Chains A and B, each alone.
Chain A
Amino acid sequence: MRDARTASLLQVDDLSITFDDVTVVDHLSLTVNRGETLALVGESGSGKSVSALGAMNLLPPNARVEGRRQLGETDLATLTRRGWRGLRGSRVGFVFQEPMTSLNPLHPIGKQIGETLRLHQGLTGKAARARTRELLEQVKLPRAGELMDAWPHQISGGQRQRVMIAMAIANGPELLIADEPTTALDVTVQQEILALLAELRDAHGMGMLFITHDLNLVRRHADRICVLHGGREQETGPVETVFTHPQSDYTRLLLEAEPEGRPAPVARVAPLLRARGVGVSFPRPTRLFSRRPPPFEAVKPLDLYVAPAETLGIVGESGSGKTTLALALLRLGQGSGEIDFDGIRLDKLTGNALRRQRRSLQVVFQDPYGSLSPRLPVFDIVSEGLRFHHPDLANAEIDRRVRATLREVGLPEACASRYPHEFSGGQRQRIAVARAIILEPRLVVLDEPTSALDRSVQKQLVELLRDLQARHRLSYLFISHDLAVVRAMAHRVLVLKDGEVMEQGDCLQVLEHPSSDYTRALVAAAGLSPRT
């Protein structure tokens, strides 16, 4: 699409944005041409969303935006309130990250699309409905006629994102701003959505500003790339050039941030954890006067084992039952089947006997912001389990162990007296790891420990986890949807889909020569870079 029409569509020069004297974006210049996708890339807090929102005057009033902004022939800096309203939603379309919250849950989706048509084009009644249907077909929503009257909660995340795209292109915008449009979606759905966006861009000759943190997506779906760090432009250029010959140090760091390496090999010994026929099912509600429907099987009975110092990766998309399975294995959620942990039948234990065993089975959760109690200082968080399981320990000894553990996870000892909110996501996850390993467990369940973190932080955490494994002969049950991280962590993998095991086996074997179609699709979508 780079022919005669290639002319700059959005032109931003020396854009600076300050919030109450804090500079968030510093002299950024970028150009989006018609028919091309410019990817704005950076880690969280790099100012990528703020610059797009700032250019479109969508920031709260305490932000100050400076610099020249031009959309086609229109000078954005001098636009009035009224002018902006006419521009947004008609000449510029937006697709945001969270498809659930961007749609109003109280209106059917067709009506919400119809609203933008009525506002900008004055279409009403039958005409609006017909156009809405046409738009939904364009974004390849299945059964468009039927789903027009569906409510946002009745359709899946990917379908909701398609509706959002339909709304964004409803008035034939010249520029489409997609702010992390696929971050909340599963990897296989991500590819479909981005392919759709590219197709629509070409069909309508739009320019697209694609904001993301995921370099893998950029490589496949963008034409040019602009790397941001700390509000400053690091590098701009065609995707291939930047990827193969990065100019700035930061870009190089970002490109090398993919977790790499492999876990240390393990000897074949008797398994530490062995589960036979472990399944989880939830009863469905009964309708009045009807028979109880069969229960919903979140995890179909499956067998697995984990050897000492080994990592079993559990891979699957959202809703595949990964976390449910882990909670059942830890006896934190319901489940059936035999769980044998180091010769002890966990499924038969209750009460105090189970609580004593918990010391050797620890867990690290996904969300580093939700998994630490906000009202306790780090010392209390880390020492709590120790105090309960070893009530005979003296305070000085507890203090010593907490400090040693904090040092081990790479945190300064001084942080013991601080509160969780003073730490970044990666540091919080280290605190959660410290809380788990201070009890000297033998198995740690890691439930998506890296998915809320930036790539470079992920890499450090993966290295820390591998290091701890080698030092303490820890076994890991590593739950993730991210194949790159799984490859760097796991000895063996188990692929789950809708609660069913699709494939199980040696990690590299499965990732390089998948035997099931589903795994093949996953591997293709993940776009793993070749192993070095």
Chain B
Amino acid sequence: MSLLSRDLSPITRRRLAVFRGNRRARVSLWLFAVLFVVSLVAELIANDRPIVMQYLGEWYVPVLVDYPDTEFGGFLPSPADYRDPFIRDEIMANGWMLWPPIPFSYETLDRALDHPAPSPPTTRHWLGTDDQGRDVLARVIYGFRLSVIFALVLTAGSLVLGVLAGGIQGYFGGKVDLIGQRVTEIWSGLPMLFLLIILASLVEPNLWWLLGIMLLFSWLGLVDVVRAEFLRARNLEYVRAARAMGLPSRLIMWRHVLPNAMVATLTFIPFLFTGAITTLTALDFLGFGLPPGSPSLGELVAQGKNNLQAPWLGITAFVTLSVMLSLLVFIGEGLRDAFDPRHIQHAATPTPVPGGRPRSRTDA
């Protein structure tokens, strides 16, 4: 973003200071960033194949490369199943394997369960298994990553569409605005969930279908915010001065209006983000979301509801979702306060003066 590449203006610095001063938001941001980074390397944490191994003096990296069964003395040309006792004994006899801390992927069925699935938490499955014998912790890690990436892409897409539509309506105003507003109103009247449900019966919904359909609607929330900012800014004197200079509209919008409209937009983003996660979870819960077998938190909620005798499913889903959404809401609040001029004023008062002299705060 051009906002960040420039030298930080004092107001940005003050905003950062306000954000940093908000302890809850700061801690939330750190926690969320750590969780997200950890989930990005989920393959190294929860996987049904070793990270690295040595067999007959040669190195293998199963986490990155598919090796056929025949490589390790099997009979089939299909990818090797490192959990198969035959292959495993063969490899261990002629080398070693380094397994991730959780030796299950999100879709690994554990056939060696000593309980009927869903089985309760044990040292083998820290959060138990779901009703198909898959490790819940592995599914939570992958599900978290999928939800966050889905929300990220959706938010970025909505941002582009929403800023474009709102910016054009607000900057040009008049008839463009009038027609644009009516169209967005009609469009926002369409029920998104029903459309997705109808779609689910027509095509096999995958991640991209879901993303596309949700993108059609999620930008609408941004339009009003951006439009209002552009409407206000187009009559500011520096925008007029830019027009008097003969700059074309696209340059004025990009250089002069957008940076000021971004403030209102940025505060809106965390809430768009949580909205995307919630919608995806709701769809998965109803069974209209991601294809079966995907690591999805919504499906975990549905399993928890269907298997009340296995409370670890419901509790895990609840804790995961509430932690994730709370963290995001706290970050969002921090951002909103940081951009609120009243909070900036308030925070500006107690900061030390550049000279570093102690301040006497006596009432008049």
Contacts and interface: CB of A to CB of B under 8 A. Distances in A.
B243 interface: yes
Given A375-B260, A435-B241, A21 B246 contact: no
B115 interface: no
A371 B245 CA distance: 13
Nearest to B358: A21
B363 interface: yes
A389 interface: yes
Contact of A355 (B11, B248, B256): B248
Contacts of A354: 246
Contacts of A361: 244
Contacts of B255: 373, 376, 384
A332 B244 contact: yes
A60 B348 CA distance: 14
B44 interface: no
B65 interface: no
A401 interface: no
B34 interface: no
Contacts of B360: 20-21, 64
Nearest to A63: B364
Given A20-B359, A384-B245, A385-B247, A375 B259 contact: yes
A359 B362 CA distance: 55
A385 B248 CA distance: 11
A370 B244 contact: no
Given A20-B353, A57-B364, A370 B245 contact: no
Contacts of A64: 360, 362, 364
B349 A62 contact: yes
Nearest to A439: B245
Contacts of A61: 363-364
A419 interface: yes
Contacts of A330: 244
Given A64-B364, A376-B255, A358 B246 contact: yes
B195 interface: no
Given A61-B364, A64-B362, A64-B364, A358 B240 contact: no
A430 to B, nearest CB: 14
Given A20-B359, A62-B349, A385-B246, A365 B259 contact: no
A289 interface: no
A373 B238 contact: yes
B355 to A, nearest CB: 9
Interface in B309-360: 349, 353, 357, 359-360
A349 B363 CA distance: 63
Nearest to A58: B364
Nearest to A65: B364
Contacts of A59: 364
A33 B333 CA distance: 54
A432 B244 CA distance: 12
A61 B238 CA distance: 36
Given A20-B359, A61-B363, A385 B237 contact: no
Interface string A76-93: 000000000000000000
A21 B359 contact: yes
A28 to B, nearest CB: 16
Interface string A412-441: 000000010100000000001001000100
Given A64-B364, A373-B238, A355 B246 contact: yes
Contacts of B240: 332, 363, 365, 371
A385 B245 contact: yes
Contacts of B256: 373
Interface in B1-41: 6-7, 9-11
Contacts of A54: 364
B246 A356 contact: yes
A415 B10 CA distance: 16
A13 interface: no
Given A62-B349, A65-B364, A371 B246 contact: no
B361 interface: yes
A372 B10 contact: no
Interface in B36-59: none
A386 to B, nearest CB: 9
A375 B255 CA distance: 9
Contacts of B176: none
B236 interface: yes
B237 A435 contact: no
B364 A365 contact: no
A64 B362 CA distance: 7
A189 B207 CA distance: 69
Nearest to B244: A363
A223 interface: no
Interface string B242-277: 111111100100011001100000000000000000
A361 B255 CA distance: 22
Contacts of B259: 373, 375
A362 B247 CA distance: 12
A367 interface: yes
B237 A365 contact: yes
Given A61-B364, A373-B259, A376-B255, 5 more contacts: A354-B246, A362-B244, A365-B237, A419-B9, A439-B245
27 contacts: A20-B360, A21-B353, A21-B359, A54-B364, A57-B364, A59-B364, A61-B364, A64-B362, A355-B246, A357-B246, A358-B245, A359-B245, A359-B246, A363-B241, A367-B237, A370-B236, A374-B260, A375-B6, A376-B255, A384-B242, A384-B245, A384-B255, A385-B246, A388-B245, A388-B246, A419-B10, A421-B10
List 10 A-B pairs, minimum CB-CB distance, nearest first. A358-B246, A385-B245, A371-B237, A355-B246, A370-B237, A365-B237, A363-B244, A373-B238, A375-B259, A61-B363
Interface of A: 20-21, 54, 57, 59, 61-65, 330, 332, 354-359, 361-363, 365-367, 370-377, 384-385, 388-389, 419, 421, 432, 435, 439
